[in-house]
Structure 1
Amino acid sequence: MLLSPALPASMPANSFGAFIFADRHNRLLLVVAIAAAAVKMVIFKHFFPYLDFTSDTGSYMQTALQNLDHNIWPVGYSKFLWLFHQVSRSETALAVLQFSLLETSAFFFYFSVVYIFRAESYFRYGFYAFLLINPLFPFLGNYFISDALFLSLGLTWITLLLWMLHKPTTLLLILHGLVLGAAFTIRYNAMFYPLVALIPILLSGYRIWQKIAAILLPMILIVSFVLFIRQRSYEHAGIREFSVFSGWQMMNNSMYGLQYRKLDSADVPARFATMHNLVYHFCDNLRKSKKKKQVYDGSVFMWDNAGPQKTMMRYYFTVYKNKDAYTAWAALAPLFRSYGEYTIKKYPGDFFRYYLLANAKLYILPEPEVLNAYNRPYMGSNLDNVKAFFKDGDKEKPEGKYNDLQSTLMALFPSLIVICHLLFLEETIRYLIKKGIRKTSRKFNIALLLCWTFMVINFGFSVLAAPIVLRYQVLLIVLLLGYTLLLTEVTDKPLLSAEEAALEEERLMLGV
């Protein structure tokens, strides 16, 4: 029966390995998935033969080539690139590796859900079909940025949480901590992952000391990484900054509201005098202009060469002529963070209206951003290290013939996010009305709570602190689609008997 309780103790279920490899049907699904992934990649590279770049690529590449421990971006992806570069200098190999990691993590999630919850029908075949035809993974894997690796770790992290609910072991506890810690080194969005993980950990069948260990391990790894980066930043730039980018981002976010207000200099703290003067003139020109900066433009203020932040950076270089870019970013980050906090507190209504509210709308319908087109021809000429990183990096990588195909495909996904949210909400309501909580196992209900927790906290974090673009929301698409299909399956099934419900509860407590 779909999502029914596990078999009695006298009839132990097959192991996960046997479930995949010994079962003929599941083995066939795996073979088809591998074959489809290979075919998909071959076809994709025919249409899009070259690795794509973004404005972040140069920083990742330089950090990887020099094996640096500091960067304006998290250094985890650069370390991954450094390891890759010791083995290969092939663009195609990097794209294939990143795509393979995405496919592996996605099908690990798929087979785990089918095994743990004994899913059938909609999820078993609907979600499988989505993974087979999904064009997002080839495109994400084809970029020289951290998205593919971060998404792979995110999917693996979610899957490990499900396994910790199903069969809580010490090994899973350790793997979960390592994967979560690794994800944090790739992108700081993972800082809220430990909070999400509290739900399944605290409600799992672990003993008290194991729950404490499961909570503390990723936190210890994250804090250790933060202290390590702060020390490396101090050694290089003389400033103990963990994320130099966050200070710049804070001020950038505050300026969306400032461009609508006639600023004054009354009561401006002396330490902000120069900064405020630049902001005053820049925002005054924007206020008089018909075209304002919008949140869908991304971190537009901090990258604008005529903007106050880049102007301050040029001032810095006139005083400290021998300093490098990272040192300038680190030196200015505390000032920008403090100024951003000051203006947000002074004009909270403008910040709410023009940044938070606008960002909340963008969260539901994010921009395709770099995924909308092939960017390599516009970025490659500005990257001095391409030749050093790739064996044919000095060769021209012209714009392809199929850019319209990419933009057409990617244009579908913002609407898919809207659809996934609506369907997930609708199926959750139907699940509650039809007493779905009593129709399935306790661990399924906890897993559903896990998904809702992730969605809510991800929304809050994205709206408050992060740029919102399509590539940052792919994990959400996968989770919402998968859970919606699961909910659709279980809602109309008959209630569990009291004996079946008790048996499931006992198995969970025993960690079976």
Structure 2
Amino acid sequence: MLLLSPRSFVTPAPGFGAFIFASRRNGLLLAAAVIVAVIKMVVFKHFFPYIDFTSDTGSYMETALQNRNYNLWPIGYSKFLWLFHQFSRSETMLTVVQFVLLEASAFFFYFSVCYIFNPQSYFRYGFYAFLLINPLFPFLSNYFISDALFLSLGLTWITLLLWILHKPTTLLLVFHGLLLGYAFTVRYNAMFYPLVALIPILLSAYRPWQKVVAVLLPVVLIVSFVMFTRQKTAEHSGVKIFSAFSGWQIMNNAMYMMQYIPLDSVGVPEQFAKTHKAVYHYMTALKKLPRRIVVSDGSYFMWDMNGPQKGLLRDYGLAHKDKDVYAGWCGVAPLCSDYGNYMIRKYPWDFTRYYLLGNAKLYLLPELEVLGGYNRPIINLVNKEVTTFFKDGDKPKPEGKYNNWQSTLMSLFPSLIVICHLLFIEETIRYLIKKGGRKTSRKFNIALLLCWAFIGLNFAFSVFAAPIVLRYQVLLIVLLLGYTLLLTEVTDAPLVTQEEAEAEEERVMLGI
């Protein structure tokens, strides 16, 4: 028998719009959120007036200006930039647009949780306070990279999954599929999102045929995008490949262990002989440095101009003088992928020790990376492209006297990830021990399972397939904090009878 707390986690009767705008409390919370968001952005731009660049910015900018259908990075953000550029050339406006998307998606999540589960204290006011004072959103919005857009899509996607549990409709099904398909074009981290979505979709009240459509729609869109990208890449480079970057990344990841293992040529397949020899000489020189390269150095090997991967790229350029740099990356990627996978299969335990375990530690304490400071003065972009994209792009953008504030504020968040994990695990254990599942609704328990699925798959993807930095883990911070507050409220609620729960639900529905 399912039991509910008398004043928490009962679905209110009014529609979602009425819940927000007809309720005095919720209307005031929304109004305050809008006012604080405006003040926050005005103050932020006073201290940090210029949008920041990273090493990825130039590629995004060039792809957007040329409206290309291929790039080293996913093209979804470049398409967003292309659309933005049709209406504005203001870098301040780009920051504002990205910030508005982030705030809107965050408060859509917040008010949806309040509507669906009706928390009364910890989440309603604690999570709301976090959204108001959180400095991550303004800083993420101030970068010419895909993080703010992808985070907005991620928060909206999680919220749609909660709505699928609460009130599944065909329109919601279609919107979820389209959003998930687009999220994959913005960042390939979204490739595990359909697996997470299986939980609420299969356990929802959809009819069987609707569940099939809900599962297949994002998969069809993602597969279609992969095929489209492979075709466009082949037309440009002559190599039918989906992601050139992933091939380079695999070899880069394998090279962390190559600093410690014997690199003899015994048994090395002929197609890898030249590459293996280059790696051997590179590692021999690298061992003379005062320290070894560690996982926290990021994609060090693939960007080192003296490294074997850049050597392969130079050799490819000399042999194919009619090809551009992107075509070179594509041409070299299959060899990098095959060689990296060969070495990983040959030395699986060394790969686990020197790469996977190091990445697992970074998952809890990620590097600040670009969030650690103002990067624009040291990023060498083509001025013509910057001037074309922004109306004042040719003007100097010096480092301001307040930029050290950024590193100070951002340095708090790696520790916050550790704290959030520990608190979430502790509250989950308390929830199980105190029979929290009997104090709330079935859909809350499914939503909790959804959160655990996201954490587990995000951990696996991050550790095995991607570099780990703070800006990639912001959605994780938001979910851990929100669900911890929800769990605390459920666990601390008294256990009541079914009759009491039904009576309270009737009072809520009648507005008493």
TM-score bin, normalised by smaller chain: over 0.9
Deviations 1:425-474 (A, max 9, x none): 00000010000000000000000000000001100000000000000000
Q: How many angstroms apart in 2 are the aligned matches of 1:252 and 1:150?
A: 25
Structure-to-structure mapping, 1:132-171, within 5 angstroms: 132-171=132-171
Q: How many angstroms apart in 2 are the aligned matches of 1:99 and 1:6?
A: 30
In the alignment, what sits opposite 2:199?
Answer: 199
- Tell me, yes or no, if structure 1 residue 279 matches structure 2 residue 284: no
1:290: how far off? 3.3
Q: How many angstroms apart in 1 are the aligned matches of 2:292 and 2:407?
A: 25
Identity of paired residues, percent? Answer: 71
What is the DSSP-based 3-state SS (H/G/I as helix, E as strand, rest coil) of the residue aligned with 2:445? helix
AA aligned to 1:98 is: Q
Q: How many angstroms apart in 2 are the aligned matches of 1:344 and 1:44?
A: 45
- Tell me, yes or no, if structure 1 residue 16 matches structure 2 residue 21: no
TM-score by structure 1 length? Answer: 0.96
1:283: how far off? 1.1
1:158: how far off? 0.1
In the alignment, what sits opposite 1:252?
Answer: 252
AA aligned to 2:462 is: S
Structure-to-structure mapping, 1:436-451, within 5 angstroms: 436-451=436-451
Deviations 1:247-289 (A, max 9, x none): 0000000000001123101111111111111101111222343
Change (3 A) 1:207 1:434: same
Structure-to-structure mapping, 1:31-430, within 5 angstroms: 31-381=31-381, 384-430=384-430
1:120: how far off? 1.3
In the alignment, what sits opposite 1:6?
Answer: 11
Q: Does 204-213 or 380-389 show the bigger shift?
A: 380-389
1:335: how far off? 0.4
Q: How many angstroms apart in 2 are the aligned matches of 1:28 and 1:454?
A: 32
Q: How many angstroms apart in 1 are the aligned matches of 2:423 and 2:214?
A: 33
Q: Which has the higher contact order (CA 8 A, sep 6+)?
A: 2
Q: Tell me, yes or no, if the aligned pair for 2:122 and 2:489 is still in contact at 8 Å.
A: yes
Deviations 1:364-387 (A, max 9, x none): 000111000000000155554111
AA aligned to 2:56 is: D
Q: How many angstroms apart in 1 are the aligned matches of 2:415 and 2:485?
A: 18
AA aligned to 2:150 is: F
In the alignment, what sits opposite 1:10?
Answer: none
AA aligned to 2:357 is: L
Q: Tell me, yes or no, if the aligned pair for 2:383 and 2:393 is still in contact at 8 Å.
A: no
AA aligned to 2:454 is: F
Q: Tell me, yes or no, if the aligned pair for 2:363 and 2:462 is still in contact at 8 Å.
A: yes
1:321: how far off? 1.3
Q: How many angstroms apart in 2 are the aligned matches of 1:120 and 1:436?
A: 16
Q: Tell me, yes or no, if the aligned pair for 2:9 and 2:116 is still in contact at 8 Å.
A: no
TM-score by structure 2 length? Answer: 0.96
Change (3 A) 1:201 1:37: same
Q: How many angstroms apart in 1 are the aligned matches of 2:447 and 2:501?
A: 16
Change (3 A) 1:496 1:5: farther
Structure-to-structure mapping, 1:467-506, within 5 angstroms: 467-498=467-498
Q: How many angstroms apart in 2 are the aligned matches of 1:259 and 1:345?
A: 16
| Count of residues in Structure 1 that have an aligned counterpart in Structure 2 | 500
AA aligned to 2:11 is: A
Q: Tell me, yes or no, if the aligned pair for 1:380 and 1:386 is still in contact at 8 Å.
A: no
Q: Tell me, yes or no, if the aligned pair for 1:239 and 1:330 is still in contact at 8 Å.
A: yes
What is the DSSP-based 3-state SS (H/G/I as helix, E as strand, rest coil) of the residue aligned with 1:447? helix
Q: How many angstroms apart in 2 are the aligned matches of 1:158 and 1:271?
A: 45
Q: How many angstroms apart in 1 are the aligned matches of 2:503 and 2:65?
A: 56
